[in-house]
Structure 1
């Protein structure tokens, strides 16, 4: 070993010791927070240990004060894991997600909450909602929209009647991998393509890889299933079947990756929402009130000329930015529609509150689905 490396490694060892001491000191502070919250509880109340707005504020500060060479995003990821570990000392959390193990939804849950939570897989989006509603899990994570294929209709339909609030969001860059029991080199051998008899995947993933499948596996049966991880599980048990899923699913189900990143759009991204029972406070500082948070609402009105324009007018009049609008058929009447709308800002901020009040006066129904911090990572 070079003599020049010895003092550098000694310095690293000393820094590691300091970091370890500080991490444990932070963990002790987290436990004190839990003790204070428990002491202040009134009879019949449940302590709330996870505060999405506080976590967003901390991560933003981490990124603002970062000086490198570690990137802002990587530094925030490190602190996310630190907070996840400390929070587990206060209250180990159970997070419901659209399973089985290895789905993109599980990856989104771990990205948002860190790896010190217990992720619980469920086979349907409706089951995730029910588990959180029944207090069997603290929070749930479900997909809500994809940049290529648009809205996840089942999630919007569940939001209509659910008492749950949207407590947060997370965006995940989606890369799709073709996998199967075949040797990894066989995909480039045209004579071996005949051994592939079917392709399993979620219907959204099949759509996101449509052009690639048309060009590389034309005529092969495409079978939609509940999740990509389920597709990988099925392919692991069927000779000739392949799946489109995540790289993690290939590892879990011991499949060979036959082709990488086969999505048609390279910037393919899925947005997920965090479901819970709590009402989330604003995470904004005074200088960024409209940039920190987002409010999601559901509205409906009579089927008449100008109805949608009248609903949206208060958003513009109050200087708000509308970031999304989706429509779904209403269950209450023929040709009646529900509109799902996202606007910048928290419902407690005057401009947002004024807009919501005006919309309520014009709408047949207004439901605030949640105000929550915008995704930091």
Structure 2
């Protein structure tokens, strides 16, 4: 059998050498572009350009490689080439093994430095202080809605969104050993506990549900105590040498979390963009209708509308709005100008390429 495979394996080895030479040619060209960008003061990471590259490759792909595989390969190629210009740091909610880390690595590729932070406040501080060039934070879940702390921090700090990524979230019950016997408490982030409520009610009724800062933190604690179980992903199970006592325990099969990427200079239009805003209007009849009127008047579609209390004690609210299109698009620019004039508070969080599912 091995003798029969030898010619095929030799051919693969030859193709690998060709691929390596071509990849190094690409890397040298990327270095030339990097030097030009450095002289021009342009950013190393251009999410709209990377989206364009992947879109062209997928369009040219004739198979048998699947689109997911091609996307992952090219993401890593671009990440490795980008690291030749500068190895940038990305902050995420830690510890290692969180979905936030998975989102960060999937968005930027592996050739970055990744910094685990203890809470969302530290993630924002890391990016704002310049310790990290970028930060990745969860903003909403398809089952439980918005991540409130992220919304509050977006309002409080001068950050800019430059990208997004949506992950399918598969929660598993993790323990030091298999089975459900002897579980004294289940640890997870509050959103994960809520996303698995029905399963916990059925399979672990009466067992304490303990909220922790992240699912990976729950996994870390469960690794030191056999009476504890954690809700987390497979990456956390591998990171902390835990068993999957029960797989995919989320109540909704199509459970997804959307993450946003903070940092960098404003992105250029990619042709498939989103713009995020925070708005407020005076507390009077018809004010919200008047706030949204410029969007309809200029043919701009709204994809998200979320309210948060202003904490003024006067029942006032901030509105988090996502609209389709880039702030440099003519119709979007006209709508934004009208919003600035009609709103009591206006904050543009940035335009960025819409993430691929």
TM-score tier by shorter-chain length is over 0.9
Q: Which residue of 2 aligns with 1:358?
A: 338
Q: Which residue of 2 aligns with 1:287?
A: none
The count of residues paired between Structure 1 and Structure 2 equals 357
Match of residue 124, structure 2, among 125, 129, 139: 129
Structure 1 residues 198 and 36: alpha-carbon distance in aligned structure 2, compared to 1, 3 A threshold: same
Alignment of 1:296-311 (within 5 A): 296-311=276-291
Q: Which residue of 2 aligns with 1:159?
A: 154
Cα deviation code 1:203-258 (max 9, x no counterpart): 00000000000000000000000000100111112231111111111111121110
Whether 2:173 is the aligned partner of 1:173: answer no
Match of residue 114, structure 2, among 102, 115, 119: 119
Q: Which residue of 2 aligns with 1:12?
A: 12
Point out the more displaced range, 15-24 or 327-336. 327-336
Deviation, 1:7, is 3.9
CA distance in 2, matches of 1:141, 1:40: 27
Deviation, 1:3, is 6.6
SS of 1:371's equivalent?
strand
Native 8 Å contact 1:99 1:124 kept in 2: yes
CA distance in 2, matches of 1:376, 1:81: 16
What 5-or-longer segments of structure 1 have no aligned partner?
42-46, 188-192, 285-291
Native 8 Å contact 2:216 2:236 kept in 1: yes
Q: Which residue of 2 aligns with 1:95?
A: 90
Deviation, 1:6, is 4.2
Native 8 Å contact 1:59 1:376 kept in 2: no
CA distance in 2, matches of 1:222, 1:39: 54
Alignment of 1:251-290 (within 5 A): 251-284=238-271
What TM-score, normalized to structure 2? 0.97
Q: For the aligned residues, what is the CA RMSD?
A: 1.4
SS of 2:174's equivalent?
strand
What TM-score, normalized to structure 1? 0.92
Deviation, 1:376, is 2.9
Native 8 Å contact 2:166 2:356 kept in 1: no
Deviation, 1:9, is 3.0
CA distance in 2, matches of 1:317, 1:114: 40
Alignment of 1:1-377 (within 5 A): 1=1, 5-41=5-41, 48-182=43-177, 184=178, 186-187=179-180, 193=181, 195-284=182-271, 292-332=272-312, 334-377=314-357
